[in-house]
Amino acid sequence: MSTLRLTPGPRGGRWPLILVGLGVILLALAALLMGGAGPAYRWEWVSLSTSFSVLRQGAHLAVAAGGVGLLALIVAVFCRRWRPALAGALVMVAGVAMVAQPWQLMQRAQVVPPIHDITTDTQNPPAFEALAAAREAAPNAVAYPGEATARQQRAGYPRLGPITLEMPLDRAMAAAEATAREMGWEIAAVTERRLEATATTRWFGFKDDVAIRLTETGNGVRVDVRSASRVGRSDLGTNAARIQAYLEALAARGEGAR
């Protein structure tokens, strides 16, 4: 008489797979919310406060996904289920990676001054003229905020200042315009001594306005730049970084033209 032998199921049953599946679902939802928060605001589907709320919810889901992935990894390793263990580890790493950028932004907000209007000349900042109407329609002011902002800028970005190009004024303006276009800015106006443009951030589509002023000196042409956000109290260092990157690129172009 034959004996029926039952093949034992895998250790842990379906739990490692269930945990991995839950982690993947949470990860997908987090990616949808975090990835869509910026475009939803950019396309004017939601307000800025709503988009930030969606971003926070997505980050919370990403943290939860990472936690579930870690739990799946522990359970799978305990049950000696190596494929679910690998999948759990991948979910955990992906969750951590998704919250890394928002976490970095939060950390940056703690160390940069809470200002949004940056210039290389705090005593006499380049003014917005061609872009004045666009800025008047936005929450942030057209005029430079004043000494309180200047004081915070000097403390936060002490090395930010103008540069001097050793070339005639017309060549300096041509270099300034070419560099602005290379940065991807939308040019609003160009005169003999002034240039105004708008830079649009990729994710949320924030518009920051830039004014560039050229002044002839005994050593060449001094270049002053002002970059100001249309919305938001703090720019998280974006405008200062933009000015610095622009001036470095312009200086390199000037050296190459000599």
Domain boundary (111, 146, 165) is at 111
DSSP three-state, residue 220: strand
CA dist 239 and 153 (Å) reads 11
Q: Are residues 28 and 132 in the same domain?
A: no
Three-point CA angle 93, 95, 96, nearest 5°: 65
DSSP three-state, residue 91: helix
Q: Which residue segment(s) compose the domain that 166 sits in?
A: 117-257
Q: Are residues 104 and 121 in the same domain?
A: no
Q: In the prediction, which pLDDT does 44 show? A: 84
Residue 209 within a domain: yes
CA dist 78 and 170 (Å) reads 72
Q: Are residues 194 and 158 in the same domain?
A: yes
Q: Are residues 157 and 140 in the same domain?
A: yes
Rg, C-alpha atoms of the chain: 26
Q: Are residues 97 and 189 in the same domain?
A: no
- Of the candidates 41, 67, 69, 71, the one whose C-alpha atom is nearest the C-alpha of residue 53 is 41
Q: Are residues 140 and 86 in the same domain?
A: no
Q: Are residues 130 and 224 in the same domain?
A: yes
Burial 4-34 (b: 16+ CB within 10 A, else e): eeeeeeeebeebbbebbbbbbebbebbbebb
Q: In the prediction, which pLDDT does 13 show? A: 64
CA dist 209 and 132 (Å) reads 10
Domain boundary (76, 111, 146) is at 111
- Of the candidates 34, 244, 235, the one whose C-alpha atom is nearest the C-alpha of residue 119 is 244
Domain boundary (53, 81, 111) is at 111
Domain of residue 184, CATH code: 3.30.310.80
CA dist 183 and 239 (Å) reads 13
pLDDT digits (tens, 9 = 90+) for 52-100: 899 999 999 999 999 999 999 999 888 888 888 899 999 999 999 998 8
Q: Which residues of the chain have pLDDT under 50?
A: 1-2, 4, 6-7
Q: Are residues 149 and 252 in the same domain?
A: yes
Residue 54 within a domain: yes
Residue 253 within a domain: yes
Q: In the prediction, which pLDDT does 202 show? A: 85
Q: In the prediction, which pLDDT does 11 show? A: 60
Q: Are residues 107 and 123 in the same domain?
A: no
Residue 44 φ then ψ, to 5°: 65, 35
Residue 22 within a domain: yes
- Of the candidates 120, 136, 149, the one whose C-alpha atom is nearest the C-alpha of residue 233 is 149
CB half-sphere exposure, 184, CA atoms < 13 A: 8
How many domains does the chain divide into? 2
Q: In the prediction, which pLDDT does 103 show? A: 83
Residue 1 within a domain: no
